[in-house]
């Protein structure tokens, strides 16, 4: 079964630039983009909690600039 959708010319143009080859269908292009965008395995509650704690640390000033970290490790 196929469904017709309406696209603005600019949107179609953008999709055309995202094709991996000229004969790739819009369905294939959109599915490839959607597969890259959506992670089928959601983050665990533990990971979400660690992210929240890290954000709280940054907001409270408990951290240091990346430049300082990189300099200490000879990365810059």
Task: Give pLDDT tens digits for 6-45.
Answer: 999 999 999 999 999 999 999 999 999 999 998 888 899 9
Main-chain phi, psi angles of 12, to 5 degrees: -60, -40
Polymer length of the chain: 76
For the entire predicted model, the pTM comes to 0.54
- Cβ pair 28, 36 in contact under 8 A: no
* pLDDT of res. 40: 84
Write out the chain in H/E/C secondary structure: CCCCCCCCHHHHHHHHHHCCCCCCCHHHHHHHHHHHHCCCCCCCHHHHHHHHHHHHHHHCCCCCCHHHHHHHCCCC
């Amino acid at each position: 079964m196929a469904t017709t959708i309406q696209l603005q010319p600019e949107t179609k143009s953008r999709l055309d630039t995202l094709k991996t080859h000229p004969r790739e269908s819009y369905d294939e292009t959109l599915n490839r983009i959607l597969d890259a965008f959506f992670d089928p395995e959601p983050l665990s509650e533990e990971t979400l909690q660690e992210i929240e704690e890290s954000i709280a640390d940054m907001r409270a000033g408990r951290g240091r600039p990346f430049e300082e970290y990189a300099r200490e490790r000879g990365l810059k």
